Amino acid sequence: MRGDETMKRRDFCKGLAVTLAAGVLAPGAVLPQAGAATALVGRAVPDDYYTLWYRSERNGVDLRHDYYYSDSLFDHAATEYDNQLALVTLGMAAATGGPWESDQRYWMEGEVGRADYIRDALAKLGFAEVELFNYDHSLNEAPDTVACAVARKTLVHGGRPVTVIGVFARSSGYGAEWAANFHAGPGSAHTGFVAAARQLTEKIRGYVQASAKRQPFGTLKLWMGGYSRGGGVANLVAARLPAVLPQLEKKNTFVYTFAAPASLTAADCPDLQQDFDNNHAADGSLKKDWGTSNIFNIVSSGDSVPRVLPAQWGFYRNGNDRFLPSTVVLEELQALNDRSMRMEGTPLDFEKMAVTEETDAALQSAMTLFGSRQTYYEDYEDAMRCMLQCVYTCSEAEAIRGIILDDAAVVARLRSMEPMQQFPQKKVERCVQAASALSRPVLEKLGSAVPLRAQQIVIPMLAVGLCFELEPDTLQTVADFVLSTITVKGQLSGILNTALCHFVENYVTLLEYYTPADHGMEPYTRREKL
Question: Greatest CA separation found in the chain?
Answer: 80
Whether the pLDDT of residue 9 is over 80: the answer is no
Whether the pLDDT of residue 95 is over 50: the answer is yes
237-271 per-position pLDDT tens digit: 999 999 999 999 999 999 999 999 999 999 889 99
In a 13 Å sphere around the CA of 429, the CA atoms on its Cβ side amount to 4
Binning pLDDT at 50, 70 and 90, where does residue 440 land? confident
424-433 per-position pLDDT tens digit: 999 999 999 9
Binning pLDDT at 50, 70 and 90, where does residue 299 land? very high
Strands 295-300, 253-258: pairing is parallel
DSSP state letter for 486: H
The predicted structure's pLDDT at residue 169: 97
Strands 148-157, 38-41: pairing is antiparallel
Asked whether 181 and 172 are in contact (CB, 8 A), the reply is no
Share of the chain above pLDDT 70, in %: 89
Count the residues in the chain. 530
Burial class (CB in 10 A: 0-12, 13-18, 19+), 59: middle
Average pLDDT over residues 321-329: 97
Asked whether 499 and 484 are in contact (CB, 8 A), the reply is yes
Average pLDDT over residues 292-297: 98
Separation of alpha carbons 173 and 392, rounded Å: 10
- Ranges of each domain in the chain: 36-348+503-525, 366-500
| 492 CA to centre of own chain | 22
226's CB contacts (< 8 A; 6+ apart) are 93, 96, 168, 169, 171, 232, 233, 234, 235, 257, 258, 260
- Of 174 and 253, the one with more pLDDT: 253
pTM: 0.88
Q: Of 202-216, 422-436, 442-456, which gets the smallest average pLDDT?
A: 442-456
What's the CATH fold of domain 36-348+503-525? Rossmann fold (3.40.50)
Q: What is the 3 state secondary structure string of 286-325? A: ECCCCCCCCEEEEEECCCCHHHCCCHHHCCECECEEEEEC
Whether the pLDDT of residue 28 is over 60: the answer is no
Average model confidence (pLDDT) for the chain?
A: 87
The C-alpha torsion from 297 through 302 and 303 to 309, rounded to 10°, is 80
DSSP letters of 321-344?
EEEEPEE--HHHHHHHHHHHTTSS
Separation of alpha carbons 395 and 361, rounded Å: 38
Binning pLDDT at 50, 70 and 90, where does residue 376 land? confident
Kindly list the distances between the CA atom of residue 108 and the CA atoms of 63, 112, 114, 365, 396, in Å, as whole numbers in the listed order: 24, 8, 11, 39, 9
Whether the pLDDT of residue 496 is over 90: the answer is no
Average pLDDT over residues 213-219: 96
Binning pLDDT at 50, 70 and 90, where does residue 3 land? very low
Highest mean pLDDT among 138-142, 167-171, 359-363, 488-492: 167-171
Average pLDDT over residues 291-299: 97
Rg of the chain (C-alpha set): 23
- Of 152 and 310, the one with more pLDDT: 152
Whether the pLDDT of residue 15 is over 60: the answer is no
Separation of alpha carbons 236 and 221, rounded Å: 18
The predicted structure's pLDDT at residue 378: 86
Q: Strand, coil or helix: what is 520?
A: strand
Asked whether 420 and 414 are in contact (CB, 8 A), the reply is yes
- Of 59 and 131, the one with more pLDDT: 131
DSSP letters of 54-82?
EEETTTTEEEEEEEEE-GGGGSS-TTS--
